[in-house]
Amino acid sequence: MKSREEIFDTVRCALVELFELEAPAIVPGARFDDDLEIDSIDAVDLIEHLSRSFGRKVSPRDFRSVRTVQDLIDAIDRLQER
Amino acid sequence: MTRGRVTKLHEDVSDLLDSLAESPPVKRTDQYWLRLPATGICFLVFGVAGFLLGIFVLPVIRLFSFDRLRGQRMARAVVGGGLRGFVMFMRSVGVLRYEFVGRAKLGRPGQIVVANHPTLIDVVFLLGFTPHATCIVKAGLFTNLITRGAVNAAGYIPNAPADEMIHAAQRALEEGESLVIFPEGSRTVPGQPMQMQRGAANLALRGARVLTPVFITCDPPTLSKNLPWYRIPPRRPTFTLRAGDDIDLETYRHAPLPIASRRLNSDLAGLFAGQLQCETTALNSRAQ
pLDDT at B286 over 80: no
State whether B161 and A43 contact (CB < 8 Å): no
CB contact under 8 A, B166 and A43: no
Tell me the backbone φ, ψ of residue B23, rounded to 5 degrees. -65, 120
Judge: A42–B198 Cβ closer than 8 Å, yes or no. Answer: yes
In tens, the pLDDT along B236-256 reads 999 999 999 999 999 999 999
**DSSP line for chain B:** -HHHHHHHHHHHHHHHHHHHHHS------SSHHHHHHHHHHHHHHHHHHHHHIIIIIHHHHHHH-SSHHHHHHHHHHHHHHHHHHHHHHHHHTTS-EEEEESGGGS--TTEEEEE---STTHHHHHHHHSTT-EEEE-GGGGT-TTTHHHHHHHT-EES-SHHHHHHHHHHHHHTT--EEE-TTSSPPPTTS-----THHHHHHHHH-SEEEEEEEEEES--S-TT--TT---SS--EEEEEE---B--GGGTTS-HHHHHHHHHHHHHHHHHHHHHHHHHHHHHHH-
Distance from CA of A48 to the nearest CA of B (A): 10
- Residue B62: the pLDDT is 83
What integer pLDDT is reported at residue B273 of this predicted model?
95
Q: What's the pTM? A: 0.89
Minimum CA–CA partner of B263 in chain A: A19
Look at residue A62 and give its three-state secondary structure.
helix
Residue B1 has pLDDT above 50, yes or no: no
Q: Of chain B residues 238-267, which have a CB less than 8 A from chain A?
A: 256-259, 261
- Nearest CA distance, B259 vs chain A (angstrom): 6
- Which residue in the set B166, B256, B259 is minimally distant from A44, CB to CB? B166
Strand order in the sheet with B134-137: B97-101, B238-243, B210-219, B111-115, B179-181, B134-137, B157-158
Q: What is the pLDDT of residue B6?
A: 60
Contact (CB<8Å) A39/B198: yes
Look up the ipTM and state it. Answer: 0.87
Q: Does the pLDDT value for residue B7 go beyond 80?
A: no
CB atoms within 10 A of CB B44: 10
Contact A46 B199 (CB under 8 A): no
User: How far apart are alpha carbons B69 and B16 in whole angstroms?
Assistant: 52
**A43 in contact with B, Cβ within 8 Å:** yes
CB pairs under 8 A between A and B: 41
Measure A40 CA to nearest chain B CA, in Å. 6
Report pLDDT for B282: 85
Tens digit of pLDDT at every position of chain A (82 positions): 789 999 999 999 999 999 999 999 999 999 999 999 999 899 999 999 998 888 887 887 888 889 999 999 999 998 888 7
Number of Cβ within 10 Å of residue A30's Cβ equals 17
Name the pLDDT band for B207 (thresholds 50, 70, 90).
very high
Question: pLDDT higher for B83 or A82?
Answer: B83
Q: Enumerate the residues of chain A whose CB falls inside 8 A of the CB of residue B261.
A: 41
Q: Work out the minimum CA distance from A15 to partner chain B, whole angstroms.
A: 10
